[in-house]
Structure 1
Amino acid sequence: MAAPSMAAALAASLPAPQAAPTPAAPTYEAIPASMSKAIDIEAEIPLTCVQLDGIVITKILKHSREAFSTTAHGLLLGLDLDGILEVSNSFALPNHNSDDDEKATKSIARYQQSMLRSLKEVQGDDNVVGFYQATSLGAFFNQSLIDTQAIHQDRLRHGGVVVVHDISQTARGNASFRAFKLTPAFMDAYRRANFSTAGMISHRLTFASILEEIPLRVRTNALLSSYLNTLATPSTSTFSGAHPGVATTSALPPSYSVLDIGNMGLTKNLEQVAEAIDNYRTEEGNVAYLSRQIAREKLRAETYVAKRKEENARRVAQGLNALPEEDVSRLFRIPPEPSRLESMLLLGQVDAYAKSLESNAGTGLVKMYAAKASSGV
């Protein structure tokens, strides 16, 4: 007889289990109406607003100022509650300028996982609700932003948002933050990879219908508001014989940037408009070249099919068997229709630069007329 196993020996040494009492039927309580709106497990409540905490605004401003050019980007953390996406924290993602894109992507993914794990260990917000991206002159249309947002909308519960921060507006003293998400029509075309001319017409896509803007608001707590008010409130100098000009001081020095009538920003804006138009013309030239190649291959295939039909008609008339029909796609490699997505994104950049130029030029003209009127010239 085989010796019993260790598990069987341990089981035999334990006391016999007693019969468990029959559990009582569970009782359920109705969720209050207010709580049923907040608990949105199926993500049925549409997103109506994005709310950024003051600490998130500060982090994005700091990262955008310290980063090179407009490469600042990072993740947004928070919670969606009753149709409001509350963003309570954020952290920056590293920017790799290496040629190996796959290696850089893996490095960023490892850094992101490490940060989320660290936040979870210290009981911090680790729920990703979107990402932020710094831009200049309002031109944020690019393939990288579209791909990242499309991944977020497929994987996150409410789709997530992208918060765009305009560095050029901040340099003029106007902190610019806008929240966007991809439209359903664009997401449908993106999943099908259908950005041909016919696909864009069927989905009614233009550069203006790629993203939809979501209202955004900033939330500050009472302590921070009190601190800012204290900084902005003038205080009386402690010196009795102080000059009248310095008799009152403030922790925040006055800013005269709004009085600057320089045209350096307009020059840069015009350069960006010209560069965007050149890029669009180059892309349109590439699309036209591919379209001509497709037309030539289709003409060759149609000519071959017509000749084969004529030859078969002649053979049938002579009492011979017709030649078998061949697969034209195997004989002629007709390229697929080129994607028009890049052209559409470049048009969006041109439109953004043009709107920024219009705004800056209008503000500059008002300042110039005001300066002329005050000087009496």
Structure 2
Amino acid sequence: MQENIRRCVCIIYDPSRANQGALALKALKLSDSFMDLYRNNNFTGEKLREKNLSWVDIFEEIPIKVSNSALISAFMTGLEADTPVTQCDYDRLQLSTSPYLERNVEFLIDSMDDLSIEQQKFQYHYRNLSRQQAQQQAWLQKRRSENMTRKAAGEEPLPEEDPSNPIFKQIPEPSRLGSFLITNRMANYCNQINGVSGQSFSRLYLMKALHKN
């Protein structure tokens, strides 16, 4: 959509985070450097190093300002009670945040499993690459030994490169896009867990002070 729509952004709203008392609203867009690689569908390690792109640089957050119109503000004021100071919102002192934390921890564990699968793809690729390099070295040593024998016999040496040989065929590197997206997702889960944990500790310290009094 960002390719076809100018100034396209993705609005993200997290209702479970909003239930914890925070307005979980974000606007994100894909960075220009990421879009360059996406157009060419080339997320190899060489291209990522060339663009100096990491998982942190995939998205750009656009600042959001939320405001009410004058009519809405007047309407909300009319709905307020005459003595709002005497009203008590005990939900703000609720200490239990386990459902939200459990959900994010579960998502984080699932993401770690996905990242492990992506890493296994790269390990398999590097094993094949090492095996191919060993076969190439063995073939070159054999060819050089054969050329020494041919030189001693006064014959022309054979070329040391054979593009038709399968062992010289380049093994394609798996795309790093999946691991980048999973790492970015894990960072968001960690930030959410950290934020909710900080609020929970603040409530615990507040309740501890109230109990002392």
TM range (shorter): 0.7 to 0.9
Matched-pair contact (CA < 8 Å) for 2:135–2:167: no
Cα 1:329/1:320, change in 2 over 3 Å:
closer
Cα 1:272/1:157, change in 2 over 3 Å:
closer
Matched, 1:203 2:51: yes
Matched, 1:180 2:28: yes
Equivalent residue number for residue 5 of structure 2 = 156
* Sequence identity percentage: 30
Q: Which of 230, 234, 237 matches 2:81?
A: 234
Matched-pair contact (CA < 8 Å) for 2:162–2:168: no
Please give the alpha-carbon distance, in whole angstroms, between the structure 2 residues aligned to 1:258 and 1:173. Answer: 8
Equivalent residue number for residue 93 of structure 2 = 259
SS at structure 2 position matched to 1:218: coil
Equivalent residue number for residue 69 of structure 2 = 221
Corresponding letter in the other structure for 1:258: R
Equivalent residue number for residue 373 of structure 1 = 209
SS at structure 2 position matched to 1:154: coil
Matched-pair contact (CA < 8 Å) for 1:178–1:213: yes
* TM-aligned CA deviation for residue 255 of structure 1: 5.1
**Residues 78-113 of structure 1, C-alpha deviations (whole Å, 9 max, x = no match):** xxxxxxxxxxxxxxxxxxxxxxxxxxxxxxxxxxxx
Please give the alpha-carbon distance, in whole angstroms, between the structure 1 residues aligned to 2:133 and 2:15. Answer: 48
Equivalent residue number for residue 146 of structure 2 = 311
* TM-aligned CA deviation for residue 330 of structure 1: 4.7
Equivalent residue number for residue 38 of structure 2 = 190
Equivalent residue number for residue 352 of structure 1 = 188
**Residues 94-136 of structure 1, C-alpha deviations (whole Å, 9 max, x = no match):** xxxxxxxxxxxxxxxxxxxxxxxxxxxxxxxxxxxxxxxxxxx
Q: TM-score with structure 2 length normalisation?
A: 0.82
Please give the alpha-carbon distance, in whole angstroms, between the structure 1 residues aligned to 2:53 and 2:109. Answer: 25
Cα 1:329/1:367, change in 2 over 3 Å:
farther
Q: Count residues with an aligned counterpart.
A: 209
SS at structure 2 position matched to 1:155: coil
Q: TM-score with structure 1 length normalisation?
A: 0.49
Corresponding letter in the other structure for 1:298: Q
Higher RCO (CA 8 Å, separation ≥ 6 residues): 2
Which aligned pairs between 1:56-205 and structure 2 lie closer than 5 A? 152-158=1-7, 160-205=8-53
**Residues 126-167 of structure 1, C-alpha deviations (whole Å, 9 max, x = no match):** xxxxxxxxxxxxxxxxxxxxxxxxxx2322233x11112123
Matched-pair contact (CA < 8 Å) for 1:312–1:323: yes
Please give the alpha-carbon distance, in whole angstroms, between the structure 1 residues aligned to 2:92 and 2:169. Answer: 60
Gaps of 5+ in 1: 1-151, 236-247
Please give the alpha-carbon distance, in whole angstroms, between the structure 2 residues aligned to 1:303 and 1:310. Answer: 11
Equivalent residue number for residue 119 of structure 2 = 284
Matched-pair contact (CA < 8 Å) for 1:161–1:179: yes
Point out the structure with the larger strand share.
1
Bigger Rg over Cα: 1
Gaps of 5+ in 2: none
Matched-pair contact (CA < 8 Å) for 2:95–2:200: yes
Please give the alpha-carbon distance, in whole angstroms, between the structure 1 residues aligned to 2:184 and 2:91. Answer: 29
Please give the alpha-carbon distance, in whole angstroms, between the structure 2 residues aligned to 1:332 and 1:260. Answer: 65
